[in-house]
Amino acid sequence: EYNTSATPDDLLDIYIDDIEIYEVRVVGDNANLPKLCEIYKEDFKVGVALMDFELKDERRVNLITTQFNSITMGNEMKPENILDYKTCSSDVKKYMTEPALNFSKLDLGMKFAKEHQLSMRGHTLLWHQQTPRWFFTKNYSRDPNAPLASKEIMTKRLESYMKQVLTYCNTNYPGIIYAWDVVNEAINVEDGIKGGYRSKDSYWYQIFGSEYIELAFTYARKYAEEGVSLFYNDYNCFEKSKLFAICTMAEDLVKKGILDGIGMQSHIKMDYPSMTDYEYAIKKYASLGVEVQITELDIDLAGNSLEDLTKLGTRYKKLFSLYQSLKETKQANITSVTVWGLSDDYSWLNGDKRKYPLFFDDNLLPKAAFYGACLDESIPLY
């Protein structure tokens, strides 16, 4: 304590040697952190996936709006949260080819983005998951045995769905969405279909064959705001067979001018894929002449020892160094990198086992992973 009554005579002469000066970081004070969206502002947008409850939590909002300049809604803009069963089934004839939609959940994220001047990745227009089966049945029936609707009806429903969602966004939130995942996860080589198309668990495929993909991109182009990039998005897309199937499919869509980018989800592990395979995939997609976005990055880490967390930091540092160097050397037009969640406690990877995949811990404190992503010199690159 400072002694205010001390006179010069009370002081002792002492020598001080070997001084080291540290920056003191106040626990819980995230205001002085390096800012990801600043670090990469010349390279690409940096985004985070969010759930609706996070938009109302002040500490989270502060962190989101200082670190990131792009957001993706983790669930709220998927078909299951937009399709309105009650209205559709109340008058099947009326809604037969023009499904009734409800935008109240979509509004949450879009309003938040607008209010905080963040850009939005629209996720996702067409997916085999999180799209209820009743949407594919002839009479909007929830009976698990109800027959599927015809291709003709589903073509109209698809166009109407895309038209309504995209028009609603263009009209109410112009300029907020910069990329749409038009089709998500349509390739699954294991299903054994020529072209690698997902078939077994996809009603889209079962009704259309692979035709729905081009249709979806055609409608998306027709109704999306000008300047919005249209993406095909998938996981494990660095695996060679999947990579080549996606490229073959995409090439044709690029030629037709209806696909602008490949979204590499990047739900990866500590030792898989190798950096070499991952880099190869980014370059391969870039060679189609399209944008590449890293759309759902997380690293499935099961331990939280100091060693584990440091290694996670190293893996993130390698990834972000790669993204930056590929962009700056013009080897890949990477336009956005999004991490799939803000803090570990709400990661979608948590199940029976707790996981530690993200930049911030349960107290919203930055982990080595965050500093790795910042390319901070405290994190070893190897």
Number of residues that bind ligand XIL (CB under 6 A): 7
User: Is 348 a residue that touches ligand XIL (CB under 6 A)?
Assistant: yes
Report the nearest approach of ligand XIL to the CB of residue 25 (Å): 30
Which of residues 100 and 357 has its CB atom nearest to ligand XIL in the complex?
357
* Per-residue contact flags (x/-) with ligand XIL for residues 166 to 195, judged by CB under 6 A: ------------------x-----------
User: Is 137 a residue that touches ligand XIL (CB under 6 A)?
Assistant: no
Among 30, 65, 66, 75, binds ligand XIL (CB under 6 A): 75
Type of residue found at 287: S
Report the nearest approach of ligand XIL to the CB of residue 322 (Å): 22
C-alpha 326/C-alpha 34 separation (Å) is 22
User: Is 280 a residue that touches ligand XIL (CB under 6 A)?
Assistant: no
Which of residues 223 and 348 has its CB atom nearest to ligand XIL in the complex?
348
Comparing CA positions, the residue from 114, 123, 117 lying closest to residue 51 is 123
Which of residues 81 and 172 has its CB atom nearest to ligand XIL in the complex?
81
Comparing CA positions, the residue from 290, 232, 289 lying closest to residue 264 is 232
Report the nearest approach of ligand XIL to the CB of residue 171 (Å): 25
Report the nearest approach of ligand XIL to the CB of residue 75 (Å): 5
* 117-130 residues labelled b (16+ CB within 10 A) or e (exposed): ebbbbbbbbbbbee
Structure tokens of 225?
């705001």
Report which residue's Cβ sits closest to ligand XIL: 348
Contacts of 340 (CB under 8 A, 6+ apart): 49, 74, 265, 267, 296, 297, 298, 347, 348, 358
For the chain, what is the largest distance between any 2 Cα atoms, rounded to a whole number of angstroms? 97
Which of residues 74 and 368 has its CB atom nearest to ligand XIL in the complex?
74
User: Is 74 a residue that touches ligand XIL (CB under 6 A)?
Assistant: yes
Residues of span 312-341 touching ligand XIL by CB under 6 A: none
Report the nearest approach of ligand XIL to the CB of residue 74 (Å): 4
Which of residues 63 and 77 has its CB atom nearest to ligand XIL in the complex?
77
**Is 296 one of the annotated active-site residues of the chain?**
yes
- From the candidates 54, 159, 279, 296, which is the catalytic residue? 296
Beta bridge partners of 232: 183, 262
Report the nearest approach of ligand XIL to the CB of residue 358 (Å): 12
User: Is 350 a residue that touches ligand XIL (CB under 6 A)?
Assistant: no
Among 69, 265, 293, 338, binds ligand XIL (CB under 6 A): 265
Which of residues 137 and 338 has its CB atom nearest to ligand XIL in the complex?
338
Report the nearest approach of ligand XIL to the CB of residue 100 (Å): 23
Structure tokens of 355?
């996981």
Cα 358 to Cα 284, 338, 368, distances in angstroms: 27, 11, 10
What positions carry a catalytic annotation? 296
User: Residue numbers of the site for ligand XIL (CB under 6 A)?
Assistant: 74-75, 184, 235, 265, 296, 348
